[in-house]
Structure 1
Amino acid sequence: MEVKARAPGKIILAGEHAVVHGSTAVAAAIDLYTYVTLRLLPLQSGENDDKLTLQLKDMALEFSWSMARLKELMNYTNIPCPSTPSSCSSQSLKSIAVLVEEQNIPEAKIWLSSGISTFLWLYAHIIGFKPATVVVTSELPYGSGLGSSAALSVALSAVLLAASNAVSLDETRDGWSVPDKTSFDLLNRWAFEGEKIIHGKPSGIDNTVSTYGNMIKFRSGELTRLQSNIPLRMLITNTRVGRNTKALVAGVSERALRHPEAMASVFNAVDSISKELAAIIQSDEKGESSSIAEKEEKIEELIEMNQGLLQSMGVSHASIETVLRTTLKYKLASKLTGAGGGGCVLTLLPTHVSGKMVDKVVEELESNGLQCFTASIGGSGVQICAREPN
């Protein structure tokens, strides 16, 4: 049996950093995906012949474990229970760390360890100890703030649950099926457990957006799913500059301690921007193109204001400023997305902007060594394609 799933990345449209201080944030799915394919294999003559193989196609890396070794270290007495998500204990994490270390991951790719740990834990607890090959490919740049780890956790959970017959599928379009509501919820809970292995204490924003798609509003731990009624297209520019999210968050908190009143005003302003943006996106007027243009103009202004407030928090970067200056020449509004200090920058592409102009902007940005994508905002969440062998 072969099962394939895809899960989208995400962007923060408004509210990053301020959300840590009680403000509202808005996040959305983008139509750039991580794909995971699972091929369950027939049992061989003995456990040492039966293997679990993980192929990371984009990096030309392959990892393999014998069933005997997995059973030895991962407590074979546990029976898989796909319908009941559970957390990875510290003891299990230590055992998995040994399995990962044995793979001799190249030093330059050692950051993959947490994702591989998530894979092993989800596999053992949803599928059990069955030989298989799992192939991962992604359209998302890693570690750039576009939710690549959550997309991996969601897509992995989807293929494993589908192979365990633990999900029910609704409509099918272009070969991809959408899980029903109960299955969505189960998938999201498993993906959140996977995210905990990677990030320790994730907010749940990334996996929720990747699972359900569209958009969410988030404040003080409460997630509200939004329905977008306006098509939005973004240019996403990857500065290729790595950043330390924890240090950037700490820096904003320290600035808030030094300037409590001023920073409280900044956070309140961001809260207002996020709420207004959510209201515009959800408004369901069946307008003419003029009303869409008016909404886009308002969104552009909100993007510019949000970026100015992020700069006042101290989380911009020279690479981000390069993108801002370049897009401003073409009268396009941009803001950083995620932690800042590098990472990715969003640029709204209003409906009146021609493809020729977008090509010019991309050419100029890429001449500075930056990486560009165009993406539609607020699209589908996780989807599954299952087929029997020929």
Structure 2
Amino acid sequence: MVAMWERGLAVSAPGKVIVHGEHAVVHGKVALAVALDLRTFLRLRPGAEGQVRVCLPGVGVQRSWNTPELRALRGRIAADFEDSKSPSLEQLDALREFAGIAAEASAPDSLATLAFLYMCLAISAKYGDVPSVDIVVWSELPTGAGLGSSAAYAVCLAAALLMVCGAISCPLQEGESTARWTEEELTLINSWAFQGERVIHGNPSGVDNAVGTWGGALRYQAGKITPLRRVPTLRILLTNTKVPRSTKVLVAGVKEKILKFPAIMNPVLDSIDAISQECQSVLEEMPANPSPEYYPVLEEFFDINQHHLNVLGVGHPSLDRLCQVTASHGLHSKLTGAGGGGCAITLLPPDTSPLTVEAAKQDLCACGFECWETKIGAPGVTLHSLSSLNTQVLHVLSQS
């Protein structure tokens, strides 16, 4: 471990998209969440003696602290540090004061700094001393787009800090490029990542950090998270309309509609629930590299669910435009997440020609949208040798 650690290691975790079940999940229905192969990367190196440094170039954070001052702060607020207990308001207030973050600050840089401090102190309080580390985190995921960027960050931090403090192993052997942790270790990573999510979001569902930890696909219903047995890797286009929206306002709007028209809206929720369950069955039947005949039913599920989401009132003209553009290329899309703008996913069957994909991307970008060709069903949190990372990731991490 020591030799590899001195050369530096990297941890990555995937983002997530909801395939089916948005909004219905708030009312006790099934949702399917899948790992998105856009990842957050964390580079871990030994820090200068007595120094903790964290650099997050994506949100403009570059901070460093002395380990003695972090130890003193930990001593003042450590009584309640537990991986099963929510961060207390007193702890978060003390961390804000220490880091010079205003009480009402909710910008990504402030929340990311707060989550780092909390996790560093809480994990070291339970498993060892405050480590001298140099951490750089960079993400392919846009922030605030409902793609699990904060959870991927929390999962990477949890894995790195638990490893440095000796609570989990360093599974990467000499000569290997990547490695995964044991099921027991992943459970520990997930429980601490959930604490980081609580710092950032207050009362998260736990779905995003679970997808970031285990990868693949998860079924979520009424607080219960169940990994799907087997999930194929599916190619998609992920498109960000860049239209901002408030999840809280959209959720409240759906609730109001259900109260106003229960006999009309409850069957819509039941239908979305049925789509999620049917889709789960199809995904679990599909082989790892599915042939084209599996796709028409998945495409129909996309179309039907998109109409249902419009009925719930969470559509948007930008999403209608996106669906029209992809349909003109023979492709099927639906919103993912809160709706009202935000992101959508487009299924790319294996027989889709590269020319079709390129033309669709160009047309989407011409609408002012941002578009990525990526995969769903990606692996969860992974340990990498630095040399195995692609050039772009390596360049960003080494520049910071």
Give the alignment of 1:1-390 within 5 angstroms: 1=5, 2-43=8-49, 50-75=50-75, 78=78, 86-101=85-100, 110-127=107-124, 128-168=129-169, 175-284=177-286, 292-385=291-384
Q: Which amino acid aligns with 2:369?
A: L
Q: Deviations over 1:116-165 (max 9, x none)?
A: 21111101122343332210100101111111011001011011111122
Whether the 8 Å CA contact 1:159–1:384 is kept in 2: the answer is: no
| TM-fit CA distance, 1:248 | 1.0
| TM-fit CA distance, 1:85 | 5.1
Per the normalisation by structure 1, the TM-score is: 0.89
| TM-fit CA distance, 1:229 | 4.5
Whether the 8 Å CA contact 2:47–2:53 is kept in 1: the answer is: no
Q: Which amino acid aligns with 2:221?
A: R
Q: Which moved more, 1:317-326 or 1:189-198?
A: 317-326
| TM-fit CA distance, 1:87 | 3.0
Q: Distance in 2 between matches of 1:169 and 1:69?
A: 28
Per the normalisation by structure 2, the TM-score is: 0.87
Whether the 8 Å CA contact 1:7–1:155 is kept in 2: the answer is: yes
| TM-fit CA distance, 1:199 | 1.1
Q: Distance in 1 between matches of 2:261 and 2:84?
A: 43
| TM-fit CA distance, 1:222 | 1.2
Q: Which amino acid aligns with 1:220?
A: A
Instruction: Tell me: CA distance 1:37–1:104, structure 2 relative to 1, closer, same or farther (3 Å).
Output: farther
| TM-fit CA distance, 1:115 | 2.0
| TM-fit CA distance, 1:171 | 7.6
| TM-fit CA distance, 1:29 | 0.4
TM-align CA RMSD: 2.6
Whether the 8 Å CA contact 1:214–1:227 is kept in 2: the answer is: no
Q: Which moved more, 1:124-133 or 1:169-178?
A: 169-178
Q: Distance in 2 between matches of 1:169 and 1:330?
A: 46
Q: Which moved more, 1:217-226 or 1:167-176?
A: 167-176
Q: Distance in 1 between matches of 2:356 and 2:89?
A: 52
Q: Deviations over 1:244-263 (max 9, x none)?
A: 11111111111111111111
| TM-fit CA distance, 1:307 | 0.6
Q: Distance in 2 between matches of 1:170 and 1:63?
A: 29
Q: Distance in 2 between matches of 1:81 and 1:267?
A: 39
Whether the 8 Å CA contact 1:74–1:92 is kept in 2: the answer is: no
Q: Distance in 1 between matches of 2:43 and 2:171?
A: 20
Q: Deviations over 1:255-292 (max 9, x none)?
A: 111111111001000000000000000015699x7xx3
Whether the 8 Å CA contact 1:211–1:381 is kept in 2: the answer is: yes
Aligned residues: 375
Q: Distance in 2 between matches of 1:235 and 1:246?
A: 26
Q: Distance in 2 between matches of 1:309 and 1:300?
A: 14
Q: Distance in 2 between matches of 1:169 and 1:80?
A: 28
Q: Distance in 1 between matches of 2:287 and 2:154?
A: 36
Q: Which amino acid aligns with 1:9?
A: G
Q: Percent identical across equivalent pairs?
A: 36
Q: Distance in 1 between matches of 2:77 and 2:320?
A: 55
Q: Which amino acid aligns with 1:385?
A: H
Q: Distance in 2 between matches of 1:260 and 1:17?
A: 15
Whether the 8 Å CA contact 2:31–2:219 is kept in 1: the answer is: yes
Q: Deviations over 1:175-196 (max 9, x none)?
A: 1110001001001111111111
Instruction: Tell me: CA distance 1:386–1:103, structure 2 relative to 1, closer, same or farther (3 Å).
Output: farther
Long gaps (5+) in structure 2: 387-400
Q: Distance in 2 between matches of 1:4 and 1:167?
A: 15
Secondary structure in structure 1 of the residue aligned to 2:138: strand
Secondary structure in structure 1 of the residue aligned to 2:107: helix
Q: Distance in 2 between matches of 1:230 and 1:379?
A: 9
| TM-fit CA distance, 1:37 | 1.7
Q: Which moved more, 1:295-304 or 1:88-97?
A: 88-97
Q: Deviations over 1:341-375 (max 9, x none)?
A: 12111000111111111111111111122111111
Secondary structure in structure 2 of the residue aligned to 1:168: coil
Whether the 8 Å CA contact 1:169–1:180 is kept in 2: the answer is: no
Q: Distance in 1 between matches of 2:294 and 2:228?
A: 17
Q: Distance in 2 between matches of 1:140 and 1:386?
A: 21
Q: Distance in 1 between matches of 2:69 and 2:114?
A: 15
Q: Which amino acid aligns with 2:111?
A: S
Long gaps (5+) in structure 1: 44-49
Q: Distance in 2 between matches of 1:63 and 1:31?
A: 29
| TM-fit CA distance, 1:293 | 2.3
Q: Which amino acid aligns with 2:224?
A: E
